[in-house]
Amino acid sequence: MTTVPLTATPLNLADYETLARGLMEPATWDYFAGGSGDELTLQANSEAFRRLRLRPRVMADEDQVGTATTVLGTPIELPVLVAPTAYHGLVHRDAECATAAGAGDAGTIMVVSLNSNRTLEEVAAAATRPVWFQLYLTPDRAADEEMVRRAEDAGFAALVLTVDRPVYGAREKDVRNGFRLPDHLRAGNFGGTRDLRAKSWSSWAALDWLVQATRLPVLVKGVLTGEDALLAVQQGAAAVIVSNHGGRQLDGALAGIEALPGVVASVDGRCEVYCDGGVRRGVDVLKALALGARAVLVGRPAIWGLAVNGAAGVTAVLELLRGELERDLTLCGRCRVADIDRSFVTSIPEVP
């Protein structure tokens, strides 16, 4: 598992995807690329963006295009964060440490998965920018509290509670492949291997407990309805992430971009809203911002960049999105991401 010299510069994220697939073992590729069931939601995540069209304005008053923004008050250079994904050691020897460094070099935030190959302390030490920590809560309160304390002590800036995995999704490719961590890798935060099917706590009491247990802001990831987003805010969430777990949980669920407008309307400015799932172009970022997202998250593309060229590959993937976003902002007649609003996007009329 090594990086490869690039004979041609990848022009987009699809190029990185092709290169990464050629470097990964088939079962590893299926683990990262696959979804649940018939993968309807996995496909919908990308298809939903294609049903949206932009309404560009012309003759912008300024020449300087800017993609910088803030998330929970933290400045970032582009409104794209790295989503939590498990076991980066499957594609690169430096694992999550390289991903964190690559995200930092691009001027943005990585959300580090609880299920990482490097310990949360190692990843925090490798990061050059603030990092957030994603976790699941279990019936073992003592173990959960220990993980929270470790994240606080390591310097993480926020906690991201994933709430859409009370049970494991029907990831049939992994079952057929008999997927498991290879012997040379470990679940870094648990001192050994861990059951990938481990059940997480699935009641709203989990959020209430976590908000009370930490001094860090808590984000809720895995919300697809305005009703649940409002409950999360009422129980102390600092932000919500509209997500269907990359199409890996409930097959047939809404795409994130489809659910986003309803969530934004329900929270009505009470908290920041982010969105993930299917973002592959700068224009996808632009559409999500127009529908009310503060920022988006990308998971698989960061893995592709990591597989191809380590930390530099992660940075390159994010820089491609930034370059596309700068161009598309200009073509929409706006110079800053804050200038994009709902008026810039419309949906394709459905054919009766």
Which residues carry out catalysis?
Answer: 245
Contacts of 48 (CB under 8 A, 6+ apart): 255, 256, 257, 258, 278
CB distance 91 to 306 below 8 Å: yes
CA dist., res. 254 & res. 37, Å (int): 14
What's the one-letter identity of residue 239? A
Backbone angles phi, psi at 82, to 5 degrees: -90, 120
Which tokens sit at 263?
């969530």
Rounded to whole angstroms, the Cα distance separating 40 from 212 reads: 37
H helical segments located in the chain: 13-23, 26-33, 40-50, 95-105, 120-126, 141-154, 172-177, 205-213, 226-234, 256-267, 282-290, 300-331
191's CB contacts (< 8 A; 6+ apart) are none
Phi, psi of 301 (to 5 degrees): -60, -35
Per the DSSP assignment, residues forming a β-bridge with 54 are 345
Per-position DSSP letters for 19-88, written without gaps between them: HHHHHS-HHHHHHHH--STT-HHHHHHHHHHHTEEE------S----B--EEETTEEESSSEEEPP-S-G
Are residues 246 and 300 in contact, defined by beta-carbon separation less than 8 angstroms? yes
